[in-house]
Amino acid sequence: MNSSHQDRHTAELHQMQRAIAGLLLYQDILDSEVGKALIELLQAIANGDRSQGNALICLTAYGRFFKALADQNCSWEEYLIDRLLQAENPFSLQVQKITLGDSTGRRLSPALVSAARQDLASLHVLYTCGQYIPQWVGQIGGKPVCWLDCNISEQQHSIVKALHSQNWGELVDDLAAYYQQAGVGIFGKYRALRWQGQLWGIPHPDRVQIDSLIGYEQQKATLIKNTASLLAGKPALNILLYGGKGTGKSSLIKGLLNHYPDSQLRLLEVSKSATIDLPLILDQLTDLPQKFIIFIDDLSFEEDDENFKALKVVLEGSVTARPNNVVVYATSNRRHLVREYFADRPRPQDAGEIQMWDTVQEKLSFVDRFGITLTFEPADQPKYLEIVHHLATAAKLSLSPQDLEYRALQWATRHNGRSGRTARQFIDYLIGE
């Protein structure tokens, strides 16, 4: 390597190291196995010459960096963009709530915006590593090395395409708009989540499509309309979906994510045993730009259940206002969610609670605290067969209509009765057969 090439090599390497050292907001991007391996590799290159010992150190550091990327199944460029889009820091968190051109007079600190712009320029320097690192390692190690190629598809978000092709320091406004729409951290990475003492992302949510659910068109339209109001920032009501098992109540709620694929909608599943944590959950969702459906499946309560009291507070409100970006959608097979016994009924000879009827009415009227109740009646035979025919057509089964109906009715008799769930299980059986 001649002197001019060596000088340029040194300058580019030092520029990358200064870019890492000078990060103000986005340090966490490199606080990972991949990031630490890159820092170690750049140091090995900076210390390296073509002696045997240094060559081995450099090749070993490159091997760690390459394997860390391969474990993530992505190139360095794809990894860096993904971490940038999910980053949680003062800029990404605040810009979700206060736009850069906010007309209300609220504004981000100019120093914060400048720091974000500076960090983006530094990260863009690191983004160009692929132009240099394989060559440097090959020269020091005395052998060619592999580099994971970057791939971008036409389906990816426009901000991803911009980051592949433009100077990052000029993309502060675009990145801010992306954070406002897509969210950051766990809310940016996942559209479906569950609560188990803390928030956990669901990498592969149910792909059920609302259009594939046959019947209950009025209930479906009401649920979609209420969810559209939530997404539009208008008042939206809590909804109870009540009806027999297998009628598609849960599938209808889960299908909303796929009905609004490129929206701020998030589905948060909370088990009925964890509803006592609802006030804590709401504290974490307040003021976020995303819109949340808290999904509680198979809801019912026993007497004096603490979870009942927690949900009641969320539905009715307390001193703390319910966030306007959150609704509760619950399913139940019971019309009255709080179990009641004949022994609960007041009798004159009992020396119990004086205002016992007030307690009974509180239990029976709990369902009224949901703004909307959607009732799902069990499927009759014509409706059941309509569902079967629809699913069979979608699955491209070649049975005759007569044979399909005959076998479907036999299946319902021998298994779980007529319902959408039974129809789905029957079609899955035929596909496997």
The type of residue at 20 is: I
| 100 has a pLDDT exceeding 80 | no
| Full-model pTM | 0.79
Write down the pLDDT at residue 5.
61
Instruction: Tell me the pLDDT band of 355, cut-offs 50, 70 and 90.
Output: very low
**Mean residue pLDDT across the chain:** 84
- The CATH label, of 3.40.640.10, 3.30.420.40, 3.40.50.300, 3.40.50.720, for the domain at 200-376 is 3.40.50.300
Q: What's the distance, Cα to Cα, between the start and end of the chain in Å?
A: 67
The DSSP line for 43-75 is: HHHHH--SSHHHHHHHHHHHHHHHHHHHHHTS-
Q: For 42-93, how does the pLDDT look when each residue is reduced to its tens digit (9 = 90+)?
A: 999 988 766 677 889 999 999 999 999 999 999 999 999 999 999 999 999 9
The arithmetic mean of pLDDT across residues 10-23, rounded, is 93
Write down the pLDDT at residue 31.
93
Instruction: Tell me the pLDDT band of 36, cut-offs 50, 70 and 90.
Output: very high
Q: For 263-316, how does the pLDDT look when each residue is reduced to its tens digit (9 = 90+)?
A: 899 999 999 888 889 888 998 898 888 999 999 998 876 655 666 667 777 776
The arithmetic mean of pLDDT across residues 148-175, rounded, is 84
| 189 has a pLDDT exceeding 80 | yes
Q: In degrees rounded to 5, what are phi and psi of residue 141?
A: -80, -15
User: How many Cα atoms within 13 Å fall on the side-chain side of residue 197?
Assistant: 0
Instruction: Tell me the pLDDT band of 318, cut-offs 50, 70 and 90.
Output: low
Write down the pLDDT at residue 305.
60
Instruction: Tell me the pLDDT band of 335, cut-offs 50, 70 and 90.
Output: low
| 332 has a pLDDT exceeding 80 | yes
Distant-in-sequence, close-in-space partners of 404: CB < 8 Å, separation ≥ 6:
388, 389, 392, 397
Between strands 239-243 and 372-376, the pairing is parallel
**Looking at per-residue confidence, does 320 or 130 come out higher?**
130
Largest CA distance in the chain: 106
The arithmetic mean of pLDDT across residues 330-353, rounded, is 57
In the structure encoding, which two tokens stand for residue 123, read together?
Answer: 């990260």
Instruction: Tell me the pLDDT band of 204, cut-offs 50, 70 and 90.
Output: very high
Write down the pLDDT at residue 342.
46
The arithmetic mean of pLDDT across residues 120-129, rounded, is 94
Domain spans, the chain: 3-189, 200-376, 381-432
Write down the pLDDT at residue 341.
46
Between strands 192-195 and 199-201, the pairing is antiparallel
